[in-house]
């Protein structure tokens, strides 16, 4: 039953992504100024928006971990699994943003990369979360989740800077399409539809991956917990 539901979810997700691709590549009209290269927008922007979502999952889970750490360790452990998963999926999405950006920049701007505020803060955001994952790997022992949770709060401080970068400064990066000027935004309904489908498809896809990652992490925690308990039992057996 569980497998059936999971299979169904995966099929639905793939169908959504296929529809998103179809809408972006065939239904939506080409951009008046940029031509077909503008279609990368349907991937770049949804990933940018969603990487905030997953980094937010990471920081909220980290705060929950710090809150539950003392009085409810089981719940804290679950929160830690969500924190790892959020950071990993977020890094993947942020990587997609950093790859699709230069792919668009090269034909439109004539350069792959420029050190403007938006691009720089995005790169810093990516670096911070990669270092978060590295720190989790390097630090060993029972204190890793607490230290990682602290690091995650520092990482989250860069998110508002990144979000505001092309609102506060005049950057080479295009100004925000949504939530910026009243004149901005997608005016063509087909473009808006293609954008909406892609946001939905990639959100569902990311959430499915997040769910799988949490599940795997919980299994790992169970294995580690059982191993620790077995080692303790053996120790008390030999000392008696």
Partner 1 sequence: MPATTTNRSPELNNGLSWPGLVWAHLRKDLRIEWRSRDAVNSMLFFALLVVVLFSMAFDPTAATSREIAGGVLCVATLFASVSALNQAWAREIRHQVLDALRMTQGGGAAIFLAKVLANFLFVSVVQAVLGPVFFVFYNLHPLGDARLLALVIPLGTWALVSNGTFFAALSIRSRNRELLLPLILFPIFLPALLAMVLSVKTILTGDSSDPDLLWIKLLAGYDIIFTTVSLMLFDVVLQAE
With tokens 């790997």, the residue in question is: 137
Which one, 56 or 131, has the nearer CB to partner 1? 131
* CB of residue 56 to partner 1, shortest distance in Å: 17
Rg for the chain (alpha carbons), in Å? 21
Which one, 23 or 152, has the nearer CB to partner 1? 152
* CB of residue 101 to partner 1, shortest distance in Å: 18
Neighbours of 148 (CB within 10 A): 22
Which one, 46 or 155, has the nearer CB to partner 1? 155
Structure tokens at 205: 């896809």
Contact by Cβ (8 Å): 225, 219: no
Instruction: Write the DSSP symbol of residue 29.
Output: P
* CB of residue 220 to partner 1, shortest distance in Å: 19
* CB of residue 143 to partner 1, shortest distance in Å: 4
Return the SS3 of 35: strand
Neighbours of 186 (CB within 10 A): 17
Beta bridge partners of 35: 31
Beta bridge partners of 31: 35
* CB of residue 148 to partner 1, shortest distance in Å: 9
Query: Residue 50 contacts by C-beta under 8 Å, 6 or more apart in sequence?
Result: 93, 199, 202, 203, 206
* CB of residue 226 to partner 1, shortest distance in Å: 21
Instruction: Write the DSSP symbol of residue 32.
Output: T
Which one, 25 or 139, has the nearer CB to partner 1? 139
Which one, 123 or 209, has the nearer CB to partner 1? 123
Contact footprint for partner 1 (CB under 8 A): 66, 120-121, 124, 127-128, 130-132, 134-135, 138-143, 146-147, 149-151, 153-155, 157-158, 161
The vertex-234 CA angle with 233 and 240, nearest 5°, equals 90
Which one, 2 or 170, has the nearer CB to partner 1? 170
């Amino acid at each position: 039953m569980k497998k059936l539901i999971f299979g169904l979810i995966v099929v639905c997700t793939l169908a959504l992504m296929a529809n998103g691709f179809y809408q972006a590549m065939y239904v939506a009209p080409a951009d008046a100024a940029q031509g077909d290269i503008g279609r990368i927008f349907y991937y770049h922007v949804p990933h940018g928006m969603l990487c905030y979502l997953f980094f937010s999952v990471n920081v909220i889970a980290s705060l929950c971990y710090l809150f539950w750490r003392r009085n409810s360790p089981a719940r804290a452990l679950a929160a830690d699994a969500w924190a790892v998963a959020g950071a990993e999926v977020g890094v993947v999405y942020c990587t997609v943003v950093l790859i699709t950006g230069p792919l668009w920049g090269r034909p439109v701007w004539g350069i792959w990369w420029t050190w403007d505020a938006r691009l720089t803060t995005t790169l810093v955001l990516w670096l911070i979360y990669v270092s978060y994952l590295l720190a989790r790997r390097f630090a060993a022992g029972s204190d890793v989740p607490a230290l990682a949770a602290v690091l995650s709060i520092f990482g989250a401080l860069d998110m508002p800077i990144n979000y505001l970068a092309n609102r506060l400064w005049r950057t080479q990066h295009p100004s925000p399409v949504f939530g910026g000027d009243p004149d901005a935004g997608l005016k063509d309904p087909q473009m808006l539809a293609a954008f909406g489908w892609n946001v939905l498809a990639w959100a569902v896809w990311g959430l499915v991956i997040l769910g799988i990652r949490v599940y795997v992490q919980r299994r790992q925690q169970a294995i580690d917990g059982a191993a620790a308990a077995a080692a303790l039992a053996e120790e008390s057996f030999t000392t008696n």
